[in-house]
């Protein structure tokens, strides 16, 4: 029985664009090779951290939403721990309410609406 999961991980800010994309593809490959299905992938870019991690104050945030067998999570987290480019990661199971929220967020339901003054400019 496949469950829905969401994982967010932070990559070290000293990576080039190519290195960052390679790291993300590595984790996507772990999921797909173990019969998981990627639902959504988002790169949130370089963000300031709430506190320093490994003497760094920024990091590249990345989100993956996927469906997978629960046994895959331990394999995925082992890969996160092995990869020195990953500073932090968190994987959570998604319930039906979060699924609905994520679907609406992907479709732009929560984007700020323009006011009449902004449109007139």
In terms of residue numbers, what domain contains 64?
Answer: 3-111
Residue 119 has pLDDT above 60, yes or no: no
Residue 119 CB-density burial (10 A; 0-12 exposed, 13-18 middle, 19+ buried): exposed
Residue 117 lies in a domain: no
Residue 106 lies in a domain: yes
Residue 80 lies in a domain: yes
Whole-model pTM: value is 0.82
In whole angstroms, what is the distance from residue 53 CA to residue 14 CA? Answer: 13
Residue 51 lies in a domain: yes
Region 56-84: mean pLDDT is 93
Residue 115 has pLDDT above 80, yes or no: no
Residue 121 lies in a domain: no
Residue 42 has pLDDT above 80, yes or no: yes
Total of domains in the chain = 1
Give the pLDDT band (50/70/90) at residue 114. Answer: low
Residue 116 lies in a domain: no
Here the CATH number for the domain that contains residue 76 is 3.30.70.60
Residue 23 lies in a domain: yes
DSSP bridge partners of 61:
10, 45
Region 30-48: mean pLDDT is 92
């Amino acid at each position: 029985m496949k469950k829905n999961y969401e994982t967010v991980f932070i990559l070290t800010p000293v990576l080039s664009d190519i290195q960052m994309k390679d790291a993300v593809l590595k984790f996507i490959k772990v999921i797909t090779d173990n019969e998981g299905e990627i639902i959504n992938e988002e790169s949130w870019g370089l963000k300031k951290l709430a506190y320093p991690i490994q003497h760094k104050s920024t990091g590249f945030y990345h989100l993956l939403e996927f469906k997978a067998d629960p046994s895959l999570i331990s394999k995925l987290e082992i890969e996160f721990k092995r990869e020195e480019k990953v500073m932090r990661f968190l994987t959570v199971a998604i319930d039906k309410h979060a699924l609905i929220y994520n679907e609406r967020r992907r479709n732009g339901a929560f984007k700020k609406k323009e006011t009449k003054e902004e449109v007139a400019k």
